[in-house]
Amino acid sequence: MGLVLADDLLGRGLQRIQGEIDQAFDAILQVSEDGRQRLLMAMRHAAIGGGKRVRPLLLVTTAEMYGAARPAAVRAACAIEAIHVYSLVHDDLPCMDDDAMRHGRPTVHKAFDEATAVLAGDALHALAFELLTDPATSSDPFVRSELVRCLAIASGAGGMAGGQMMDIAAEGADFDVRAVTRLQQLKTGALLGAAVEMGAILARVPEEGRAHLRAYARDIGLAFQIADDLLDHEGNEAKAGKALRKDADKGKATFVSLMGPEKAREQARALSEQAIGHLQGHGREADLLRALARFVVEREN
Amino acid sequence: MGLVLADDLLGRGLQRIQGEIDQAFDAILQVSEDGRQRLLMAMRHAAIGGGKRVRPLLLVTTAEMYGAARPAAVRAACAIEAIHVYSLVHDDLPCMDDDAMRHGRPTVHKAFDEATAVLAGDALHALAFELLTDPATSSDPFVRSELVRCLAIASGAGGMAGGQMMDIAAEGADFDVRAVTRLQQLKTGALLGAAVEMGAILARVPEEGRAHLRAYARDIGLAFQIADDLLDHEGNEAKAGKALRKDADKGKATFVSLMGPEKAREQARALSEQAIGHLQGHGREADLLRALARFVVEREN
C-alpha cells in the first residue's frame, strides 16, 4: 500500500469520525433554559468542532475490525473523547498550563471563566461514564461495566491524572529518558491504550487476544508524544493552534531535550514501524491503524 | 422510639461508617514513590478523616435494609463519597468559592497548591467509577453498570455540576423559592438521592420498588439544604469548621433569605417528618434512615 493511498484512507477516516463525533456531541449536549445554559455552552465549546479525534478513530477502527457495530462504537468514542476534552479544559487553566488558545480558538476559561471551565470539565468527565452505561452503547452489561472500568483506570491516578502530576513535578527535576517515558506512558499513553482496548471490549475480543493491540497502542503512544515534542521544538504556532515551546521555556525534560531532535525523530519512526509490526496478524481491515501509526509521526500539528 | 435512642442509634451508625470509609480510603489510596506522591497525598488529605459521611450512611443503610452485604455496600459508599469529596475540592478553589478551611483543616489547594487540587479532584472522580466496576463491589455486571449510570447522571450536568452552575448564576439574580428549590435539588439533592438509589440497586430492588426511597431522599435533601442555610445564617464557625455567611455576603438567594429563619426551620422540620412518612412500609430496619431524617434538621454542623 502506497503512502498516498494510506494518507487518503486516513484522511477519509479522520474526516468521517470528526463529523460523527461533532454530530453526536451536538445531539447529546442540548442547551437548557434553566441557569445551566452557560455550563452546556462551555461543554459544547470544548467538545465540538476541534481536535484530531485520534482516540475516537482508534476506538472505532479497532471495534469495527472485530465486527462491532459502528453507531455503538461512535458512542463509546464520544465517551473517551469527553475524557480527553475535559483533561484539556482543566490543563489549560491558569493554575495548570495557563493556555489562552486551543485548536485555534480561545480556551474555555478565556471564552467563559475559570469556574465555568472547572465545572464544564467535571461535567464532561461524568458524561463519559453516563454514555458508556447507556444500553445504546452495548446491550451487554458486562461490556458496559468493562468499558467504564478500562476508561476510569486509564484516566485516574494510575493513568492520565497521575501522568499530569508527574509532568508538573518534572519542571526543573532531573529526569532521564526512562522517567520521561514512564510519565508519557501515563499522561498520554494510558488513554490511547484505552481507546484500542475499549474497541476490543466492545467487540468482545477476549482479554488474551488484546496483547498485540496493547503493544501497538503503547508504541504509537510514545511515537505520538515524541512527535509532539518535535512539533513543539520546531513547529509552527499557526498550524498548531496553540502556544509552543512552553516546555523548553520551563526547563522541562522532553524527549527532544534529552535525545536531540535527530535521534528523537529516528526513535519516533522506529516506534511507528514497530507498532505496525504488531498488526501483522491482521489483513486490510487494519490498514487504517497502520496509516494512523505513520500519521502520528509525520503530522504537522 | 425516643429521640435519645434514635440519637444513640444514629451516633453509632455514623461512627461506624466514618471508620469504615476512612479505612477503605486508606487502603485504596496508597502513596507511590514515582512522582505521583503529591497527587496521592492530596487525595488522602481530601478523602480521609473529615466529613459526616451522610451519603455513605444513606447508601449502606438502604443496601442492608434490603439484604445486601455490608462490605460491598461500603465499597459503593466510597465511590459516592469520592464524588462528594472531589466536588468539595473543586468547589473550594479560588475561582469557585475560594475557601481556605474545610472540616477544620486547610483546603487542598491551601495545603498543596491549585494545580494539585484540580488533579486530585479529577483523580477522585475517576476513582469513583473504578471502584463501582470492581467485581468486589458486585459480582453482577448489570448491578455494576447501573451503579455507574446512577452516579454519573447524579453528578453531571443534569445533577450536581449543573446545580453548581445554577448556584454561581444565582449571585445577584432574582431567584424565588421555586428556583432555589430546583437549584438545590440538583446541587445536593441529586447525590443524596443517588446514595439511596445505589443502595437499592446494590440490593437488586427493582426500579418500581424505589419510588418511596426516592421521595424520602428528595425530602431529606431539601431539609438538609434548608438546615445548611440556617446554620450558615445563625451558626458557629468553630463548629462548622469552615467560613460562614458567604452566601448572604454575596447577596445570593437562600431559603433563609427568601422565607425568613422561622418559616425556614418550620419547613425543614415538615420535610423531615414527610421523609419519615415515606418509610412507613418499613419496620425497625429503617430506624437509622428515620433517625437520619431527624438529624439533618437538628444538626449543629
Closest residue to B148, CB basis, from A36, A127, A129: A129
Testing the interface with B: which of A86, A116, A125, A153 to mutate, by most B Cβ within 10 A? A125
Which carries the bigger pLDDT value, residue B119 or residue A4?
B119
Residue written as grid cell 481491515: A285
Give A65→chain B minimum CA distance, Å. Answer: 25
A129 touches chain B (CB under 8 A): yes
Percentage of chain A beyond pLDDT 90 is: 82
Which carries the bigger pLDDT value, residue B47 or residue A208?
B47
List the single residue in A with minimal CA-CA distance to B137. A145
Q: Do A126 and B155 touch (CB under 8 A)?
A: yes
Classify strands A105-106 and B101-102 as parallel, antiparallel or unpaired: unpaired
- Digit-coded pLDDT (tens) for A65-86: 999 999 999 999 999 999 999 9
B101 touches chain A (CB under 8 A): no
Q: Do A122 and B127 touch (CB under 8 A)?
A: no
Is residue A154 within 8 A of residue A190, CB to CB? The reply is yes
Of A1-5, A35-39, A113-117, B141-145, the one with minimum mean pLDDT is A1-5
* Amino acid B3: pLDDT: 45
Closest residue to A141, CB basis, from B118, B127, B145: B145
Which carries the bigger pLDDT value, residue B10 or residue A175?
B10
Closest residue to B166, CB basis, from A35, A128, A153: A35
List the single residue in A with minimal CA-CA distance to B83. A126
A119 touches chain B (CB under 8 A): yes
B225 touches chain A (CB under 8 A): no
Going by C-alpha positions, the residue among A190, A223, A196, A228 that lies closest to residue A209 is A196
When the pLDDT of each residue in chain A is averaged and rounded to a whole number, the result is: 93
Is residue A90 within 8 A of residue A161, CB to CB? The reply is no
* Amino acid B252: pLDDT: 81
B40 touches chain A (CB under 8 A): yes
Instruction: Say whether pLDDT at B259 is over 70.
Output: yes
Instruction: Say whether pLDDT at A2 is over 50.
Output: no
- The C-alpha torsion from B290 through B296 and B297 to B301, rounded to 10°, is 150
ipTM exceeds 0.90: yes
List the single residue in B with minimal CA-CA distance to A90. B118
Q: Where are the alpha helices (DSSP H) in chain A?
A: 3-28, 37-47, 54-65, 70-91, 108-111, 114-132, 141-155, 160-170, 177-184, 190-202, 211-234, 237-240, 246-249, 255-259, 261-277, 287-298
List the single residue in B with minimal CA-CA distance to A174. B35
Give B141→chain A minimum CA distance, Å. Answer: 5
Our count of domains for chain A comes to 1
Instruction: Say whether pLDDT at B77 is over 70.
Output: yes
What is the residue-wise DSSP string for B64-97? HHTT--HHHHHHHHHHHHHHHHHHHHHHTSTTTT
B272 touches chain A (CB under 8 A): no
Give A95→chain B minimum CA distance, Å. Answer: 5
Average pLDDT in the B207-228 region? 94
Average pLDDT in the A21-41 region? 95
Please identify among residues 157-196 of chain B the ones whose CB lies closer than 8 Å to any CB of chain A: 157, 159, 161-162, 164-166, 168-170, 173, 179, 182-183
Average pLDDT in the A144-173 region? 94
Classify strands B105-106 and B101-102 as parallel, antiparallel or unpaired: antiparallel
What is the residue-wise DSSP string for A172-204? TS---HHHHHHHHIIIIIHHHHHHHHHHHHHTT
Give B34→chain A minimum CA distance, Å. Answer: 8
Residues of A in contact with B141 (CB under 8 A): 141-142, 144-146
CA angle A160, A162, A165 (to 5 degrees): 110
Closest residue to B118, CB basis, from A93, A141, A173: A93
B238 grid coordinates? 468553630
First to last CA, chain A: 24
Give A134→chain B minimum CA distance, Å. Answer: 8
pLDDT band at A1 (very low <50, low <70, confident <90, very high): very low
B141 touches chain A (CB under 8 A): yes
Instruction: Say whether pLDDT at B241 is over 80.
Output: no
* Amino acid A6: pLDDT: 58
* Amino acid A188: pLDDT: 93
When the pLDDT of each residue in chain B is averaged and rounded to a whole number, the result is: 93
* Amino acid A3: pLDDT: 45
Q: Do A166 and B119 touch (CB under 8 A)?
A: no
Q: Where are the alpha helices (DSSP H) in A51-134?
A: 54-65, 70-91, 108-111, 114-132
* Amino acid A60: pLDDT: 98
* Residues of the domain holding B237: 3-298
Q: Domain holding B56: CATH number?
A: 1.10.600.10
Predicted TM-score (pTM) of the model is 0.95
A107 touches chain B (CB under 8 A): no
Backbone angles phi, psi at A188, to 5 degrees: -120, -30
Instruction: Say whether pLDDT at A127 is over 50.
Output: yes
Residues of B in contact with A145 (CB under 8 A): 133, 141, 144-145, 148
Q: Do B35 and A126 touch (CB under 8 A)?
A: no
Instruction: Say whether pLDDT at B5 is over 70.
Output: no
pLDDT band at B1 (very low <50, low <70, confident <90, very high): very low
Residues of A in contact with B96 (CB under 8 A): 115, 118
- Other CB atoms within 10 Å distance of the CB of residue A212: 15
B88 touches chain A (CB under 8 A): no
- Digit-coded pLDDT (tens) for A210-244: 999 999 999 999 999 999 999 988 877 677 777 77
Residue contacts between A and B (CB atoms, under 8 Å) = 172
* Amino acid B6: pLDDT: 58
